[in-house]
């Protein structure tokens, strides 16, 4: 597989965050989310994409931006892939509610710095 460069992977992470937030906007709160398997599946899939993209970001970039939860993003991917039967949708919801907007802002700032804009 050809290396796409860390900028492309950061863009993938931001795109998946945007998708998660859009999917969650289609439900009316946590109770509605818990009843919607398709949204849960779509959200889970995009957390997996985030984790896989994080895994492709070079260590030097991660060390340059330690404020981002790189290890947790990759860990959630591993959990979703290998322990899928234990996934608690409430946790997926809480991560989105408590962290994704801030993570997206930090990633957009990272892109600005890496691009020199």
Residues belonging to the active site: 77, 82
- The model's pTM is 0.92
- Helix, strand and coil percent figures for the chain, each rounded to 5: 80, 0, 20
Q: Let me know: does 99 contact 68? Beta carbons within 8 Å.
A: no
* SS3 category, 21: helix
Tell me how many helices (H) and strands (E) the chain has.
Answer: 7, 0
Going residue by residue through the chain, which has 117 residues, state the pLDDT in tens, using 9 for 90 and above: 567 899 999 999 999 999 999 999 999 999 999 999 999 999 999 999 999 999 999 999 999 999 999 999 998 988 888 777 778 999 999 999 999 999 999 999 999 999 987
């Amino acid at each position: 597989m050809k290396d796409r460069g860390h900028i492309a992977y950061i863009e993938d992470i931001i795109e998946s965050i945007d998708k998660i937030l859009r999917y969650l906007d289609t439900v009316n709160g946590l109770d509605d989310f818990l009843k919607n398997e398709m949204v849960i599946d779509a959200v889970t899939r995009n957390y997996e994409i985030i984790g896989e993209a994080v895994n492709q970001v070079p260590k030097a970039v991660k060390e340059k931006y330690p404020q981002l939860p790189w290890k947790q993003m990759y860990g959630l991917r591993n959990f979703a892939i290998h322990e899928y039967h234990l996934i608690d949708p409430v946790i997926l919801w809480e991560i989105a509610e408590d962290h994704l907007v801030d993570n997206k802002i930090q990633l957009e700032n990272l892109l600005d710095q890496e691009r020199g804009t």
